[in-house]
Amino acid sequence: MSVRETYEYNRLTWPEMNDAIEMQKVVILPTGSTEQHGPHMPLDVDLFLATSVCHELGRRAPDKVLVLPAIPYGLNMHHIDFPGTIHIQPDHFIDFCVDVTKSVAYHGFKRIALVNGHGSNGPMVDLVARRTVLETPSICCAFTYISLGWAEALKVLESEVHAHADEYETSLYLYFAKERVRFDKAVFGNDHVGQYMSSDSTKTVRFNDFWGRWTKTGVHGDPAKATPEKGKQILEIVMKHMLAWLDEYRVWPIEARSDQHRLPAQKEIRW
Ligand SMILES: [Zn+2]
């Protein structure tokens, strides 16, 4: 396999890495979690789906991307009442991910992206991208793959409630690994919903409660409506947008900063 055909970051040797840097592939860091996903799916849903989506992108555009090994853990204390869930403190997560992106930037890759699969990692991957921009000469962006083409995905989905271990995630998991879904155990679940707030941050005022307070199944949505065919349709929607984003990002300008101070700024200050 040539460098042009290889999309997995750590499958390259160091001399091949020099070629990948010359090609200026976009380096992608998938972020997931090890977290309960109801009685019908394993704890690896966010990790497995984020990785699978990024690898699918890699298969379709191997000359444009390198996909790093994924971060398997995230912010999860709110799920800790369900056996098996692993929690990482937000500061640890952010610092660890920035160490990864800084290493990538050090080698000369100019464009880095975090592709997230766990909603609660959202604010943290945003900060990782911002810190990478501010602390390196490279640029870095972050998004949760579910948000790409969401309006189109809604047309594929039949249920009303979408959040966690739901019709969307279960359909994608069924598509990638049907044999690991205990579909006979898929049950509907909803959170406490008010006018402005809900216990799982689905309303305008942001609030996420301990899940042990409002659910006994760990499901938020209707996985019973999931099918592998819907998963395939969702994947194609996400891929269409990811490939378009990738082409936009690959040529995104990285211009020299212009300093507007009349007198020299005191640039020796270290942040
Ligand atoms: Zn999930």
pLDDT digits (tens, 9 = 90+) for 202-260: 999 999 999 999 999 999 999 999 999 999 999 999 999 999 999 999 999 999 999 99
* Dist. CA 184 → ligand 1 center (Å): 19
Tokens linked to 137: 């000469």
Q: Quick one: pLDDT at residue 173? A: 98
Query: d(Cα 269, Cα 222) in Å, to the nearest integer?
Result: 53
* Dist. CA 138 → ligand 1 center (Å): 30
Q: In angstroms, what CA-CA distances link 12 with 15, 58, 139?
A: 8, 14, 23
Q: Quick one: pLDDT at residue 249? A: 98
Give me Rg for the CA atoms of the chain.
Answer: 20
Q: Quick one: pLDDT at residue 89? A: 98
* Dist. CA 37 → ligand 1 center (Å): 6
DSSP state of 8: B
Q: Quick one: pLDDT at residue 229? A: 98
Q: In angstroms, what CA-CA distances link 75 with 42, 187, 200?
A: 18, 25, 14
Q: Quick one: pLDDT at residue 172? A: 98
Residue 117 has pLDDT above 90, yes or no: yes
Residue 136 has pLDDT above 90, yes or no: yes
Average pLDDT score over the chain: 97
* Dist. CA 118 → ligand 1 center (Å): 5
Residue 83 has pLDDT above 90, yes or no: yes
* pLDDT tier, 1 (very low <50, low <70, confident <90, very high otherwise): confident
Q: Quick one: pLDDT at residue 171? A: 98
* Dist. CA 133 → ligand 1 center (Å): 28
* Dist. CA 50 → ligand 1 center (Å): 10
Are 111 and 249 in contact, with CB atoms under 8 Å apart? yes
Q: Quick one: pLDDT at residue 238? A: 98
The whole-number average pLDDT for the span 48-71 is 98
Tokens linked to 91: 């500061």
CA 20 to chain centre: 23
DSSP state of 44: T
* pLDDT tier, 114 (very low <50, low <70, confident <90, very high otherwise): very high
Q: Quick one: pLDDT at residue 178? A: 98
Domains belonging to the chain, first-starting first, are 3-250 (3.40.50.10310)
Tokens linked to 245: 């984003």
Side chain identity, residue 242: M
Percentage of residues in the chain having pLDDT higher than 70: 100
The whole-number average pLDDT for the span 97-118 is 98
Query: d(Cα 171, Cα 55) in Å, to the nearest integer?
Result: 18
Q: In angstroms, what CA-CA distances link 62 with 25, 54, 145?
A: 9, 11, 18
φ and ψ at residue 259, rounded to 5 degrees? -95, 120
Residue 16 has pLDDT above 90, yes or no: yes
* Dist. CA 112 → ligand 1 center (Å): 23
Specify the long-range contacts of residues 199-205, CB closer than 8 Å, at least 24 apart. 200/163, 200/164, 201/119, 202/161, 202/163
Are 147 and 244 in contact, with CB atoms under 8 Å apart? no
